[in-house]
Structures are given as structure tokens and as C-alpha cells.
Structure 1
């Protein structure tokens, strides 16, 4: 009840959306009512092809693949943007467990943990990344905006972003649920798209992201009904139900970018070797005064 009251006070439209957008038919109906027309050419921004790729897929092709699979992996940050974002993360305070009363510099993490008396699982920069010029260039990148707009079939509206560390640390199921380290879906609009960038190298031991392919379009009705409550279902149950062969674990070097519909079942895992620094940006159809993420 408290959550409902918070949403009602924050933005009644968001409350209505949060109930309706859990259903695939409603999501697709709202998207189909759009009328976005892509530009003839997309300007040069800060996104490039991944190392070894012959070319960068067109924004239309990326949007088409996300519609089919729920996600896309295959672009990267220009090296100067990657370096600027890393420098920002290393020289600005982050906040333990995303708590604004617990600031520290990542270089002092070990000392901070000793003072705190507990290991850290996550640390975010709250909204301070909005002051970073490199982030602003990425946020307004014409390629990303066109991918988002073509996928949503509406001119994309920037919602929010986050820069955050994930650290190797002992953890409980409750902590994994609260930090999105179990399979779940996000519902922040009738349809949204999130872009992710690894700012550190991410292998199997650094907390890679994973998607269950196609689960944004094919979902048991009961799972649609509970919406974000899918996070309470054991990962193995969801994987067996929707297909172990549909699980795609995203690993790659610093700078790797990927995009997905956050309604598609996905998760980030807890690093067990090295910390992971992840940047994410979300775009939707309508602006709201409140959101879950």
C-alpha cells in the first residue's frame, strides 16, 4: 500500500501505466500508435563499431533485432569517451549502496569498507554523472536516439541514467534481489529501451549481464500479471521455463555497448573476481515525475 501511495503522490499517470504496461498486448498497442519517421541520415556521434567488426549496424537494423530478440550487442564507445567516463568515476565520489550519506572515492574502497565494518556490493554516483561532458555527449548521441526512437516508434524521451560499481562480495538472495542480480523485468513506461556500456573489462567473473531471448514478447500470462514480481521467481525456474538455450550472457572489453528492452527478462550477476563499472541510460515514450529506477 505504501508503494501505491508513493506512486499516486509522485505521478498518478505512472501508477496507471505501471499496472497496464505489464501486459504485452497493451505495450504493443501503445507503441503501434506512434508515428516516428527516422531521418534520412544519422549524424556522427560517439558510438562506433566493436573491435573487429566491419561496420556499425544501422540504427534501423539494431531496432529490428531488439524487437525480435529483446536485446542487441554490437557497438562500442569511442576511446576518448570511455577514458573520460573512467576518469570521472575515479576522481568523483561514489556512494556505498547508493546511499547519499555514504560517499567515498573508489580508490579508498578497502579503507572505507573497514570503517563501515562491512563489504560493499554496489556503489553508485547517484545523479552526479549528469555533470560529466562525456555523459552528455552519449546521452544526446544521434545514433542512440534514433535506435531508441525506431524501437519505441515514438521520439525517444530521456528518462534517467546510472553509473555504478558492482564489487565482489558475499551476498544473500535478498541482496541480489534488491540490486537486480536476479532475472527480472523493469516497467518504467509502456515501452522503454536501455543502453548499457561496460567501462571495465567484463568476463564471466566480473558480473556480466544476461538476457533470456524473446521473453519481452513471449511471457506466460501469470508472469505478465505479476509484472516486476517475476524477480521473486527462482532464476532456474525462469530459465527452464523459457529455455536454457535462450540465455545470452554478455561479456566483452571496456567500451562494449549493448541495448535491450528492460521488459525482457534480464539480470546482472555479482562479480566474483574483479569489480565491474557499468553505465546505463533509459529512454521511453512519455515523461513522468517518478520512476522505479
Structure 2
């Protein structure tokens, strides 16, 4: 057996492929079998996907994604009515064309004053998990309502299950314009997952890699798209989202950065690697929406003064990827939303109890 393995390894080396590459490919294939059966990704398979991404400069994810789209149909839309103004299939394709080219699209004033007030009130009256991260102050994460006069953490995360059972959040989860953009970009039925909202504060005076205030690429799934909503006004000092234009494309993150794996990147390294005009800082009023492929390099800029509240929706091509705690929708305030969800169970299968999908 050892001799056969040695022969195989040498054969692959002759054509420029080593055993570790093959091992990662096999591990990813195993992971997909587990996900399809159990809706969870083995951690070793997830790490193998990251290894392949770094070794192939992103091309492996593209190949896996194309294979996945062969087995996924699309949902049909009678219209694209929603918070993003889309009047025709042509306009939808133009949005996706811009996403393909730059890796992001920005819209202003997509949320009504009523929705913004509601989400801000939610953010200031609902308990969240306060994470001091590397504060050095001996604090641990705890559930609390944010107190701007007595901050105890950099990050205040809201419970995902609380969010997905909220009527306003559900209305955004089923927004047809957002789902249509995700579907057109991913070229398959998009799967809703990782619904989040959090405060980023000026509790710490220096950037924190665990708080995502240093440059990085995401590796949530094989392919995905994220929607970032500013619920508060965001200026250069209050933690704007930042992105390096074009780095969502395979080969645009250099080997020197990828060889470190799933690691943070400094401002100095970004400045040395990319032209200044490609490094985007998204200043915006509350109600601003950033649509982004976060496989590209990005960060939330460190908050110098004040606090920023951000709401996020994610749609992916498959549930293979990072594992998150199980969260389920248990109630609907609006029958129309319930009908849409159960009419499109593939989109929302992560959040639906097995008994409710029958």
C-alpha cells in the first residue's frame, strides 16, 4: 500500500501536482457528501477548501462553483419589486455586470425612515453579545444592551435567531430585488444564511484583527454575496466598510499574501500591493446599501469616534462552508412572508425546521 501511494505521489509530482493538493480535493469532496446528508461541513473539509483557494489564487472556488451551478435551477420572478430599483432583466444584468467587474455596488437611501428607526431602536434596546476581544481588560463576552456612556466591548453582536424571527428582518430576507441580484450573480438559486447585525464601537483605540478591522478575505462558502446596510450615518472616523476593487477575481490577491493562508493583512501591505484608487472607503448616510463579493480583500475600518450599527444579509450557492449555530424561524408576523418562504424552501432551508419543510 505504501509503495502504491509513493508511486501515485511521484506521478502527480511529475505533472506538477503534489499529494497535499489531491488530499485537499478529496477532503472537499467528502465534505460535500456530509453537507448534503447532515447540513454540516467537516472542519477538515472547510480547511481544505481554504488551502485550495490559497494555492490556486482563488481558481478552485470558481471551478467548484461552476460544478454546483450544473445541479441547481433558478427560481422564476414575475417582477423584481424591492428596495433596489430594478425595472427589467436588462437593469438586473447591468447591476451584476458591475458586481462582476468591481466586486461591489453601492446604493443610497434603500431603507425607509420607518425601517431605519425600527432597526436602530432594535439595536439600542435588544440584548446583544458584547465581545471585548483582545482588550486586555479581563472582560468576557456577555449579553447586555449597549450603553454608549459605558462601553464594555468593541463588538456587540445580535443573536441570529432573534433577528430571523423579527418581522422587519424577515421582510428584507424575502426582498425580491435582493434575491434576484444574488441569483443572477451566483447563477443558481441563492441560499439565505448568516443574517447578522452588530455594533462596532470605539472601545479600543487600535485596529483588532478578530473584530475584522484589519484587511482579510472571507471564506464563508464556495461563492456568496453579502448585503451590508448602514443603520447609522457612517463617516471616515466611525468605521466605514472598505474594499479593494477587483480583488474578488481569481488571481488578484498575490501569492505573497495568500501563502500565509487565512490571515489578516495590514494597511501597509495593501498600500504596497494595490493602487490607491482601487482601495475604496464607503462613506454613507444611514440607509446606504453595499452589495459585495467579500471573497475580495475588505475590512471594517477601525472606529475612531462613535459607534456604527450595521445589518447584513448573505446568500450563497451552497451550505458547504463555515459552520454556525443552528438557528430556526419559529414565527411569521406576515402571512405573505410565510407564503414566500414556504414557496421557496431551498432559499431558506437553513432556517426552516425539518418538520416545517414537508
TM-score (norm 2): 0.67
For residue 81 of structure 2, the aligned residue among 32, 35, 44 is: 44
Aligned residues: 269
Provide the secondary structure at the position in 1 that maps to 2:313: strand
More deviation, 267-276/23-32: 23-32
Flag structure 1 segments of 5+ consecutive residues without an equivalent: 1-7, 50-54, 114-118
Change (3 A) 1:19 1:291: farther
1:185 aligns to what? 217
Q: Aligned to 2:149, what secondary structure does the other structure show?
A: helix
- Structure of larger gyration radius: 2
The answer on 1:122 being equivalent to 2:155 is yes
Aligned: 1:82 with 2:116? yes
Distance 1:187 1:289, change over 3 A: closer
- The alignment status of 1:110 with 2:142, answered yes or no, reads no
Tell me if the contact between 1:158 and 1:282 (Cα under 8 Å) persists in the aligned partners. Answer: yes
Aligned residue in 2 for 1:201: 233
- Alpha carbons of 1:237 and 1:222: their partners in 2 closer, same or farther (altered >3 Å)? closer
1:235 aligns with 2:267: yes
Distance in 1, matches of 2:80 and 2:317, equals: 22
Instruction: Output the CA distance in 2 between the equivalents of 1:225 and 1:239.
Output: 18
Give the C-alpha shift of residue 169 in structure 1: 2.7
Q: How far apart are residue 74 of structure 1 and its match?
A: 1.6
For the residues of structure 2 that align with 1:289 and 1:20, how far apart are their CA atoms?
13
Aligned to 2:323: 291
Question: 1:73 maps to what in 2?
Answer: 106
Q: Structure 2 CA distance, aligned partners of 1:101 and 1:172?
A: 19
Is 242-251 or 177-186 further displaced after alignment? 242-251
Query: Is the CA contact 1:188–1:292 (under 8 Å) kept in the aligned structure 2?
Result: no
Q: Which runs of 4+ in 1 moved over 6 A?
A: none
TM-aligned CA distance change 1:199 to 1:67, over 3 Å: same
Shift of 1:43: 3.5
Which blocks of at least 5 consecutive residues in structure 2 are unaligned?
1-30, 35-39, 134-139, 326-358
In angstroms, what is the RMSD of aligned CA positions?
2.9
The 8 Å contact of residues 61 and 223 in structure 2, kept in 1 or not, is answered as yes
Secondary structure of 2:262's counterpart equals helix
Mapped contact 2:243–2:297 kept (Cα < 8 A) = yes
Q: Which residue of 1 aligns with 2:331?
A: none
- Counterpart in 1 of 2:62? 28
Partners of 1:285 and 1:253 in 2: how far apart? 31
Partner residue, 1:246? 278
TM-score by length of 1: 0.81
C-alpha separation between the residues in 1 aligned to 2:117 and 2:200?
19
Greater RCO, CA 8 A, separation 6+:
1
SS at match of 2:106: strand
Select the residue among 265, 269, 273 that pairs with 2:301: 269
1:258 counterpart residue number: 290
Determine the structure 2 residue equivalent to 1:60.
93
Higher strand share: 1
